[in-house]
């Protein structure tokens, strides 16, 4: 509930609610009054946009030439078409470069500050004013009110402190008198235990959030022998969710799944679902155009398909005129059986949400139609729960999780079905216990990067927000431990040059192998810097333990033999040190493996990175590296010891002959804390 102290503001909000409800009713009825309402709002929007710092000279001239009333002898609809065609387009790149320049009032006059995710460029400021909140809440609420009633209980599960969706949906549910619990999942631990308990306690029957979070919560419940939560309705948002994925989620949760809305942080909610699962353009608040190679045209009620271009009509404080969203949509041109005359739109994803394999262009729906075909009944063998595609050269690997153990014959049949799509590539299917962390980030990085990890496209990684880069780093570590996985590992990357980088890689065109090595190291290093900065000293041990558990679990799957695990413990460290140009020697003896590091190149790289402006918080790289390897050893029950010098170190792992590790505490835990945090003399004493 929006509680306002100022009498005049409350009165203005009440008047706005009354007038906007009439506009909603006109739009849903398809009355002629709608076009006159749109014209009046468009004239006001052009005036507001022309006075914003972002306004171009053509837009300012258009304001001067725009009549306040519909010209004589011209219908409001035609007047809108004529005016729009004379206005310049607003490119996404322009808005991203100067996001605050689109604001028409000082920042202090907004009530909330939000940003877009920034996954395809720099984040865009998207603050909310009172009128913005009121209009958006009513637009969504008047549609959701067709199928939600007081007495329903909703779980809102949307991770993203800077995005407005979670708060906005909470306001909508308040508007409808529906109780909600807006919860948060720890991105580091991924622990859904308390959330599942709350869902049972409050008897939530409505889920509001992303498909990827729902799948992750379901996987958690199955892994921990907890009941999979059942809902009456799923209101899904922020991710491209096609019919096959919707059916899959319905079968998992016993619910009716709806794509609840479509929009962005910049534009607000452009379309909202009805009770029949159709997304309706909110034509009382937006003018929508479709663009393709033939040009840009106003939606006229008939079928159409192309890039969506929107003009906001109810955002006077941050108006957008003819904003190119980059989203591909289809206008069905059919009247929905729900009774609303608002145009029905189908989202087809963003222009970049396609990956090309030669002449083949693959979309999300193509993959999911094969994973969850409509002709396969529930209960016929295992069911794929979730998936990720990993691309490297001519290799395509599909990682999947399942709701029960999968037989060899079942995996072979699914692999044959999927391989037909990738006939020009080497294809493999791998069933894993859990997907890499990036698979849960679809709402923030989009389908292509969250479910299609192209390891040859390193430029895509560097566009991620800093916290997501940490998730990518963890994903690469997880992939590296999966048998036969074509991934980027330290062993794949040539030794880098030692002089500082000059021209940015992106400006050099096609990169040489040496330049690629520098770029990959840069991504790895910025990722580690992000971990240091955003986790902080207090939470870094928690993150380190999480990574250690993943590494240990992967090693146990790949190397069941305890002796092999002990010998392999230092392999990754040795390889990474080699990539950074370190001076190392590894010796494998009968009962132990010794790694001598005479000079650690990571120190050199840290100094170069710091000179180039990378913010580092740890005093030494050893604070993370040593702790991680000792925690991994502890998880495996392996004895490991180390001795640290100024820029050198010595590691020893005892190789067990049978079962238990030899030497030291049989748990291998004795040095985990002391070695990571003790003094140099104490570490030396442990070795001696």
Tokens of 123: 């984040």
Q: Are 482 and 432 contacting, i.e. CB atoms less than 8 angstroms apart?
A: yes
Greater confidence, 240 or 517? 240
Burial 262-296 (b: 16+ CB within 10 A, else e): bbbbbbbbbbbbbbebbbbbbbbbbbbbbbeeeeb
- Say which residues have a Cβ less than 8 Å from residue 211's Cβ, sequence separation at least 6: 236, 239, 241, 245, 249, 442
- Does the CA dihedral 196-198-204-207 come out positive or negative? negative
- Say which residues have a Cβ less than 8 Å from residue 318's Cβ, sequence separation at least 6: 52, 102, 103, 104, 126, 127, 129, 132
Tokens of 632: 């991994």
Share of the chain above pLDDT 90, in %: 35
Residue 353 has pLDDT above 80, yes or no: no
The residue-averaged pLDDT of 419-423 equals: 83
* DSSP SS3 for 14: helix
pLDDT band of 564, cuts 50, 70, 90: confident
Burial 421-435 (b: 16+ CB within 10 A, else e): bbeebebbbbbbebb
- Say which residues have a Cβ less than 8 Å from residue 353's Cβ, sequence separation at least 6: 240, 363, 364, 446, 447, 448
* Beta-bridge partner residues of 263: 269
Residue 563 has pLDDT above 90, yes or no: no
Tokens of 289: 């155009």
Comparing 344-348, 393-397, 468-472, the range with the smallest average pLDDT is: 468-472
Greater confidence, 548 or 435? 548
What distance, in Å, lies between the first and last C-alpha atoms of the chain?
Answer: 66
Quick count: other Cβ atoms within 10 Å of Cβ 116?
A: 24
Cα separation, 608 vs 595, in Å, equals 25
Cα separation, 365 vs 245, in Å, equals 8
pLDDT band of 31, cuts 50, 70, 90: very high
Comparing 164-168, 217-221, 540-544, 666-670, the range with the smallest average pLDDT is: 666-670
Q: Please, where are the H alpha helices in 458-587? A: 458-461, 466-480, 513-558, 562-568, 571-579
Residue 674 has pLDDT above 50, yes or no: no
- CATH of the structural domain 21-349, one choice from 3.40.50.12780, 1.10.3720.10, 3.40.50.150, 3.30.310.160: 3.40.50.12780
Q: Please, where are the H alpha helices in 423-505? A: 442-451, 458-461, 466-480
Cβ-count burial of 107 within 10 angstroms (0-12 exposed, 13-18 middle, 19+ buried)? exposed
Q: Are 435 and 401 contacting, i.e. CB atoms less than 8 angstroms apart?
A: yes
Tokens of 292: 């393709």
pTM above 0.85, yes or no: no
Q: Are 567 and 633 contacting, i.e. CB atoms less than 8 angstroms apart?
A: no
Q: What is the pLDDT of residue 174?
A: 96
Tokens of 14: 């009440």
Comparing C-alpha atoms, which of 372, 133, 353 is closest to residue 239?
A: 353
Comparing 113-117, 274-278, 421-425, 582-586, the range with the smallest average pLDDT is: 113-117
Comparing 110-119, 318-327, 642-651, the range with the smallest average pLDDT is: 110-119
The residue-averaged pLDDT of 489-510 equals: 35
Q: What is the pLDDT of residue 478?
A: 55
Q: What is the pLDDT of residue 373?
A: 86
Cα separation, 243 vs 249, in Å, equals 10
Cα separation, 191 vs 193, in Å, equals 6
Greater confidence, 61 or 120? 61
Half-sphere exposure of 277 (CA within 13 A, CB side): 14
Q: What is the pLDDT of residue 581?
A: 77
Q: What is the pLDDT of residue 266?
A: 86
The residue-averaged pLDDT of 23-33 equals: 95
Span 192-248, pLDDT tens digits: 888 999 999 999 999 999 888 899 899 889 888 999 999 999 999 877 788 889 999
* Beta-bridge partner residues of 401: 386
Q: What is the mean pLDDT of the chain?
A: 79
Span 361-406, pLDDT tens digits: 777 778 888 998 877 665 567 889 988 887 777 778 888 888 888 8
* Beta-bridge partner residues of 668: none
Comparing 325-329, 376-380, 394-398, 613-617, the range with the smallest average pLDDT is: 376-380
Cα separation, 345 vs 272, in Å, equals 10
The residue-averaged pLDDT of 265-272 equals: 92
pLDDT band of 682, cuts 50, 70, 90: very low
Cα separation, 568 vs 495, in Å, equals 21
Quick count: other Cβ atoms within 10 Å of Cβ 618?
A: 17
Q: Which backbone phi and psi does 636 adopt, to 5 degrees?
A: -90, -10
Span 280-301, pLDDT tens digits: 999 999 999 999 999 999 998 8
Cα separation, 668 vs 654, in Å, equals 10
The residue-averaged pLDDT of 2-12 equals: 90
Q: What is the pLDDT of residue 471?
A: 46
Residue 490 has pLDDT above 70, yes or no: no
Averaging pLDDT over each range in 172-186, 467-481, 657-671, which range is the top one? 172-186
Q: What is the pLDDT of residue 192?
A: 87
- Say which residues have a Cβ less than 8 Å from residue 603's Cβ, sequence separation at least 6: 620, 621, 647
Tokens of 346: 């189908």
Q: Tokens 């155009």 appear where?
A: 289
Span 151-169, pLDDT tens digits: 999 999 986 655 678 889 9
Q: What is the pLDDT of residue 236?
A: 94
Q: What is the pLDDT of residue 253?
A: 94
Residue 409 has pLDDT above 60, yes or no: yes
Quick count: other Cβ atoms within 10 Å of Cβ 72?
A: 6
The residue-averaged pLDDT of 581-591 equals: 85
Q: What is the pLDDT of residue 667?
A: 33
360-362 and 384-392 strand pairing: unpaired
For 352-459, give the CATH class: alpha beta
Counting other chains too, the contacts that 376-385 makes at CB distance below 8 Å and 24 or more residues apart are: 378/251, 381/406, 381/407, 381/410, 382/406, 382/407, 382/410, 383/248, 383/251, 384/414, 385/215, 385/218, 385/219, 385/222, 385/252
CA 359 to chain centre: 27
Comparing 13-27, 93-107, 525-539, the range with the smallest average pLDDT is: 525-539
Comparing C-alpha atoms, which of 167, 151, 254, 269 is closest to residue 208?
A: 167
Domain ranges in the chain are 21-349, 352-459, 489-687
Cα separation, 307 vs 318, in Å, equals 22
Comparing C-alpha atoms, which of 540, 530, 555, 556 is closest to residue 627?
A: 540
């Amino acid at each position: 509930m929006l509680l306002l102290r100022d009498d005049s503001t409350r009165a203005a909000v009440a008047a706005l609610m009354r007038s906007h409800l009439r506009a909603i009713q006109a739009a849903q009825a398809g009355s002629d009054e709608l076009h006159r309402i749109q014209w009046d709002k468009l004239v006001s929007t052009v005036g507001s946009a022309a006075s914003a710092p972002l306004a171009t000279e053509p837009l300012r001239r258009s304001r001067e030439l725009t009549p306040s009333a519909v010209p004589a002898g011209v219908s409001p609809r035609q007047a809108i078409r004529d005016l729009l065609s004379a206005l310049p387009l607003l490119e996404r790149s322009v808005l991203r470069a100067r996001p605050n320049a689109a604001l028409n009032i000082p920042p202090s006059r907004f009530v909330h500050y939000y940003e877009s995710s920034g996954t395809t460029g720099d984040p865009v400021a998207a603050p909310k004013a009172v009128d913005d909140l009121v209009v958006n809440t009513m637009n969504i609420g008047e549609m959701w009110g067709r199928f939600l009633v007081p007495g329903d209980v909703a779980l809102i599960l949307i991770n993203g402190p800077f995005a407005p969706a979670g708060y906005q949906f909470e306001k909508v549910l308040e508007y409808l008198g529906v109780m909600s619990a807006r919860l948060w999942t720890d991105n580091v631990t991924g622990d859904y235990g308390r959330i599942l308990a709350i869902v049972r306690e409050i008897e939530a029957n409505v889920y509001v959030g992303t498909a990827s979070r729902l799948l992750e919560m379901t996987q958690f419940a199955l892994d921990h022998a907890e009941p999979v939560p059942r809902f009456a309705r799923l209101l899904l948002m922020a991710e491209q969710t096609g019919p096959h994925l919707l059916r899959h989620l319905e079968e998992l949760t016993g619910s009716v799944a709806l794509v609840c809305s479509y929009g962005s942080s910049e534009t607000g909610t452009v379309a909202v679902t009805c009770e029949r699962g159709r997304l309706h353009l909110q034509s009382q608040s937006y003018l929508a155009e479709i663009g393709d190679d033939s040009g840009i045209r106003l939606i006229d009620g008939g079928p159409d398909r192309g890039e969506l271009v929107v003009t906001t009509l109810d955002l006077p404080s941050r108006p957008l005129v003819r904003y190119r969203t980059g989203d591909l949509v289809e206008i069905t041109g059919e009247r929905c059986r729900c009774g609303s005359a608002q145009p029905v739109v189908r989202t087809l994803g963003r222009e970049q949400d396609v990956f090309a394999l030669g002449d083949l262009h693959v979309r999300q729906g193509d993959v999911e139609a094969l994973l969850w075909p409509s002709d396969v009944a529930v209960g016929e063998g295992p069911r794929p729960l979730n998936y990720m595609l990993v691309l490297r050269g001519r290799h395509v690997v599909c990682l999947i999780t399942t709701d029960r153990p999968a037989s060899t014959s079942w995996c072979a049949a699914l692999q044959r079905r999927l391989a037909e799509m990738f006939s020009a590539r080497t294809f493999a299917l791998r069933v894993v216990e859990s997907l890499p962390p990036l698979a849960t980030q679809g709402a923030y990085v989009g389908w292509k990067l969250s479910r299609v990890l192209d390891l040859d496209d390193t430029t895509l990684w560097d566009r991620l927000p800093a916290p997501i880069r940490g998730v990518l780093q963890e994903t690469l570590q997880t992939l590296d431990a999966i048998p036969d996985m074509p991934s980027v590992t330290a062993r794949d990357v040539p030794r880098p040059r030692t002089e500082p980088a000059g021209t940015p890689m992106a400006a050099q065109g096609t990169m040489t192998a040496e330049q690629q090595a520098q770029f990959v190291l840069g991504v790895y290093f910025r990722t580690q810097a992000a971990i240091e900065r955003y986790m902080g000293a207090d939470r870094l041990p928690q993150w380190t333990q999480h990574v250690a558990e993943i590494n240990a679990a992967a090693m146990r799957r790949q190397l069941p033999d305890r002796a092999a695990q002990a010998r392999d413990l230092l392999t990754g460290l040795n390889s990474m040190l080699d990539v950074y140009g370190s001076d190392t020697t590894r010796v494998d003896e009968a009962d132990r493996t010794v790694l001598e590091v005479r000079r650690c190149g990571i120190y050199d790289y840290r100094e170069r990175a710091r000179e180039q402006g990378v913010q580092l918080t740890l005093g030494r790289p050893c604070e993370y590296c040593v702790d991680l390897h000792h925690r991994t050893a502890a998880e495996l029950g392996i004895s490991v010891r180390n001795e640290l010098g100024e820029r050198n170190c010595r590691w020893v792992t005892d190789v067990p002959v049978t079962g238990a590790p030899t030497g030291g505490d049989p748990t291998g835990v004795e040095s985990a804390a002391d070695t990571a945090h003790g003094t140099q003399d104490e570490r030396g004493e442990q070795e001696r």
